[in-house]
């Protein structure tokens, strides 16, 4: 029985050992599983943490991308606005360039005009310089002529004054024009009416007047300036022109002839030669009649003989006076 019990105990021990072994294995398995589960849990936790970190990084990256996208969008808006501004500025620049080109063309045209004007002005300046030179030359000439005129006028004034003094000194009352020096003799003193022969009274008057007039003109102070001693005859307005022309010429010629007849009584031979060189006789018919205060013809005063003189430069003075009057 004991054997059987021992056998049963042996069998029980085997199973207990097997059970213990299995329990150990199970425990080992559980331990391994726990370790494995712990490691898996740890790995899972690390994976979760890594995932969270990656998600955080991804979210940060996404936010960064979003920020960059927003910045890019803002920049795109700015660039688009700048593009529009640039386009507008380009259009304005094109317009300004067109205007500038137009202005440049105008400036070029104006420059051409200025060049042409400068050439014209240069030509005009050259012409003006020539005209100025000619004007200066004429001015110098006029100055010289003016000096001569002043001298001639002075000489004429001196001659007229000398004539007046000589007649006054000899107590002879004559009518001498203060401007021209012309001495007027009434025909009724020299001639009978409608005649050309000198009357005795006329000869007497001429013997008093002609020597003084001629001696003053032929003296050395004035002779070099003298051009003519003129005897002019005039009639009144009665009758026709031809008859009066002949009568006026005959009367002036009668006075001149009587002067030549008596010149030896008061002139030297040289002065007589000068007198014949200077003496001129004219008849003017009824021209230049003398008018009275009412503007009517004074026939008695119109019948006259005038003795006058002309200096060498009187014609030049007349021409200059004409030029001055034309200006």
| 257-306 confidence digits (pLDDT tens) | 999 999 999 999 999 999 999 999 999 999 999 999 999 999 999 999 99
Average pLDDT over residues 178-203: 92
> What mean pLDDT is reported for the chain?
84
Whether the full predicted model's pTM is greater than 0.75, yes or no, is no
Higher-confidence position of 214 and 79: 214
Q: Which domains does the chain carry?
A: 149-326 (3.30.1330.60)
SS (H, E, C) 111-145: HHHHHHHHHHHHHHHHHHHHHHHHHHHHHHHHHHH
pLDDT at 146 over 70: no
pLDDT at 5 over 70: no
In angstroms, the Cα distances linking 60 to 48, 52, 182, 198 are: 17, 12, 134, 153
- Are 237 and 256 in contact by the 8 Å Cβ rule? The answer is no
54: Cα separation from own chain's centroid: 92
In angstroms, the Cα distances linking 251 to 180, 283, 284, 286, 289 are: 22, 8, 11, 13, 16
**Cα distance between residue 21 and residue 5, in whole Å:** 23
Average pLDDT over residues 5-14: 57
**Cα distance between residue 173 and residue 142, in whole Å:** 40
Residue 1 — pLDDT band, cuts 50, 70, 90? very low
Q: Where are the beta strands (DSSP E) in 143-211?
A: 175-176, 183-186
């Amino acid at each position: 029985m004991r054997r059987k019990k021992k056998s049963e105990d042996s069998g029980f021990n085997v199973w207990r050992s097997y059970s213990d072994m299995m329990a150990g294995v199970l425990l080992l398995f559980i331990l391994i599983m726990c370790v494995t589960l712990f490691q898996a849990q740890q790995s899972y936790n690390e994976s979760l943490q890594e995932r969270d970190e990656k998600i955080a990084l991804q979210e940060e990256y996404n936010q960064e991308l979003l920020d960059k996208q927003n910045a890019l969008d803002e920049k795109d808006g700015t660039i688009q606005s700048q593009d529009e501004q640039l386009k507008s500025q380009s259009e304005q620049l094109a317009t300004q360039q067109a205007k500038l080109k137009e202005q440049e063309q105008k400036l070029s045209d104006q420059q051409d005009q200025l060049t042409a004007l400068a050439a014209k002005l240069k030509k005009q300046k050259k012409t003006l310089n020539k005209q100025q030179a000619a004007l200066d030359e004429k001015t110098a000439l006029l100055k010289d002529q003016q000096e001569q005129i002043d001298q001639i006028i002075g000489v004429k004034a001196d001659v007229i004054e000398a004539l007046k003094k000589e007649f006054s000194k000899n107590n002879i009352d004559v009518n001498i024009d203060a401007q021209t020096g012309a001495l007027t003799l009434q025909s009724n003193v020299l001639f009978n009416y409608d005649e050309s022969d000198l009357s005795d009274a006329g000869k007497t008057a001429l013997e008093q007047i002609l020597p003084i007039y001629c001696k003053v003109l032929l003296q050395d102070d004035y002779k070099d300036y003298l051009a003519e001693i003129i005897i002019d005859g005039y009639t009144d307005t009665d009758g026709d022109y031809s008859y009066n022309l002949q009568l006026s010429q005959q009367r002036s010629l009668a006075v001149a002839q009587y002067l030549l007849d008596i010149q030896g009584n008061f002139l030297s031979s040289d002065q007589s030669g000068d007198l014949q060189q200077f003496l001129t006789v004219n008849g003017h018919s009824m021209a230049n009649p003398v008018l009275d205060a009412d503007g009517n013809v004074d026939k008695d005063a119109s019948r006259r003989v005038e003795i006058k003189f002309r200096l060498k430069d009187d014609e030049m003075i007349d021409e200059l006076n004409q030029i001055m009057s034309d200006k």
